[in-house]
Amino acid sequence: MSKPLAVNGDTAIAMAWRQINPDVVAAYPITPQTIIVESFSDFVHDGIVDTEYVCAESEHSALSICIGASAAGARVATATASAGLAFMWEVLYIASSMRTPIVMAIANRTLSGPINIHCDHSDAMGARDSGWVQIFGENVQEAYDNTLIAFRVAEHMKVRLPTITCIDGFIITHALERFEPLDDDEVKKFVGPYQAIRPLLDLKNPTTYGPIALPDYYYEIKYQLAVAMENVFEVTRDIMAEYAKLSGRQYDLVEGYRTEDAEYVVVAMGSTSGTLRYVVDQMREQGHKVGTVKIRLFRPFPSDDIAAMLKGKKAVAVMDRAMSPGTGGALYSDIVQSLYSMEGAPKVTNYIYGLGGRDVMPEQLEGVFEEIMAGKGDRINYMGVRK
């Protein structure tokens, strides 16, 4: 284990990439992701890695380059945020359907309009049905750890799907925190060498990538993607258990805090999860039976884990840092469907919050607990908005 360092989340991801030394990185800078590719390009320039680094003319081009490189047999990484991810929209589906195990870091940032460079999860929510695995991190340490885990998940022979690691823009990307990296040799051993499957450059075994698929084959291709997504649950758990032995840091797909005897639970993803644990501790001192659940793996969605963790609770609030106008938030919808067949399921309410980087204060989250304990709150609520 290396000595502890104080860096921001973007730099931690760049350091993980340096240790992995991917064959190709193609990216376009965009706030608040830019530090990742800036830092990594310094490693390339200084000869610390032998990665082929391409600063593309756009995010669409960057991901297209990544797909081509991955199909050719390379280990590939990229990064983006907000409108950059939206610009990749068409190519996201191509990457997953072609089963290219690209790892992409997303610095979560709101989508326009109006123009805003601060954090919410609207960019990642737009990609949720594209066939990419999505893993959310809470802090700088998780930004680093999730990156190492993501390469293993994406490249696993039962998965072979592109994978996104998410961290909250500015809150994690630019905040300095203490974190403990692994030694370079430990990372190389954990991630292992890349194993290409039917690479385009294998001229003795020609393979076609990206052909037209008419009704007689398209459905089966998508079904194979769905099967691979189902495999992600077991594969990710196994890799996280292996990582725990190496690092001493135990992760899971869904993580509960003081939920065993809790009657009221608030669910969230990303940096808000840490604030919620603080609020839970404060309210426990007041005698309230409250707890919180952090979603780490968002796609595929771990419905069974959620159902087991929320069974027997009186009420649940789901915090969405993005919204689907007219229906609430995507995380709320996922939680509701996870509990749909449960007898005596808890009442579930939705709280939209923090859009465009709006601050999230502990007293606001305490207010969410107070509302669900009192049986108040609409089906969809807008925390902290001026009406």
Sign of CA dihedral 361, 294, 87, 126: negative
Query: For position 1, what pLDDT does the model report?
Result: 66
Residue 315: in which H helix or E strand, if any? strand 315-320
Per-residue pLDDT of the chain (387 residues; tens, 9 = 90+): 678 999 999 999 999 999 999 999 999 999 999 999 999 999 999 999 999 999 999 999 999 999 999 999 999 999 999 999 999 999 999 999 999 999 999 999 999 989 999 999 999 999 999 999 999 999 999 999 999 999 999 999 999 999 999 999 999 999 999 999 999 999 999 999 999 999 999 999 999 998 899 999 999 999 999 999 999 999 999 999 999 999 999 999 999 999 999 999 999 999 999 999 999 999 999 999 999 999 999 999 999 999 999 999 999 999 999 999 989 999 999 999 999 999 999 999 999 999 999 999 999 999 999 999 999 999 999 999 998
> Cβ neighbours of residue 145 under 8 Å, at least 6 residues apart?
137, 243, 247, 249, 251
Tell me if domain 5-247 and domain 254-382 are identical in fold.
Answer: yes
Residue 274: in which H helix or E strand, if any? helix 272-285
Q: Which of 205, 130, 126, 194 is nearest to 161 (CA)?
A: 130
State the amino acid at position 279 in one-letter form.
V
Question: Per CATH, is 5-247 categorized as 3.50.50.60?
Answer: no
Strand-pairing partners, residue 133, are 163
Query: For position 2, what pLDDT does the model report?
Result: 79
DSSP conformation class of 130: S
pLDDT one-digit tens code per residue, 350-368 = 999 999 999 999 999 999 9
Residue 274 gets the label, from left (phi > 0), alpha (psi -120 to 50) or beta, of alpha
Class (C level, CATH) for 254-382? alpha beta
Query: For position 169, what pLDDT does the model report?
Result: 98
* The overall pTM is greater than 0.85: yes
User: Using CA atoms, how far apart are residues 103 and 53, in angstroms rounded to an integer?
Assistant: 15
The full set of domain ranges for the chain reads: 5-247, 254-382
CB 187 within 8 A of CB 147: no
User: Using CA atoms, how far apart are residues 329 and 336, in angstroms rounded to an integer?
Assistant: 11
Apex CA 62: angle with CA 24 and CA 229, to 5°? 80
User: Using CA atoms, how far apart are residues 349 and 319, in angstroms rounded to an integer?
Assistant: 9
